[in-house]
Structure 1
């Protein structure tokens, strides 16, 4: 594992491995980098899988509370609400998260608006 591996940061966020998440963030990995194969951010992944401590760590290191997952258009706030992460809903709102409906990537792609 190389220092600053964004793909491993995503994997650690998905698995809830807080030590590995901190390692990569401290090495300078951008917490907002979206996995190009999964089209999801580490923050949304951690919220979907119930890793609150990882989500808080990502937010503390600059994760954008408004950045959507390209796959389904899910914001971190929507993910927290959908998957019952009530403790994180308030944290996200305090960090500036708002509801902004947007169609999922595949709908935008089919309609030709995916570049917008």
Structure 2
């Protein structure tokens, strides 16, 4: 990756962290890769999902970010749908599902918790209902 791409990737993650949709749009237009994480491996889509930034989530997905790419940043690891479900961000959950996120994809290379596990644990009833309607089933041992 060249210097310009690294700089755009850092700026895209930073704009996502602060919820600046206008800046995210501008960076995507400038050629920022919506799929590329920062130097720690944190992806912009994960950050948007964890923060409940549904508009930024949509922008990144439309620009080509994969709904199921697992973020690997320190303290920011997991799938975008798990992050949104964990915090009960139902609008973001809905956006991710609409763009093909797998409601049964578990974190940690498919060995950890599922989005539904997180929604159930967090007592996020609306997110739980959305995921269940999308075909999610609890991981072995999880209870509803």
* TM-score, length of structure 2 as denominator length: 0.64
Give the equivalent residue in structure 1 for 2:71: 35
Higher relative contact order (CA 8 A, sep 6+): 1
Give the equivalent residue in structure 2 for 1:83: 122
Task: Report if aligned partners of 1:77, 1:97 keep a CA contact under 8 Å in 2.
Answer: yes
**1:17 maps onto 2:65 in alignment:** no
Q: List gaps (5 residues or longer) in structure 2.
A: 1-11, 13-31, 37-42
Q: Following superposition, which runs of at least 4 residues in structure 1 exceed 4 angstroms of deviation?
A: none
Q: Which has the larger radius of gyration?
A: 2
1:59-113 Cα offsets, whole Å, 9 max, x none, are 11001000011187111111111001111222212211112328xxxxxxxxxxx
Q: CA RMSD in A?
A: 1.9
Task: Report if aligned partners of 1:35, 1:41 keep a CA contact under 8 Å in 2.
Answer: yes
Give the equivalent residue in structure 1 for 2:90: 52
Judging by fraction of residues, say which structure has more strand.
2
Task: Report if aligned partners of 1:3, 1:24 keep a CA contact under 8 Å in 2.
Answer: no
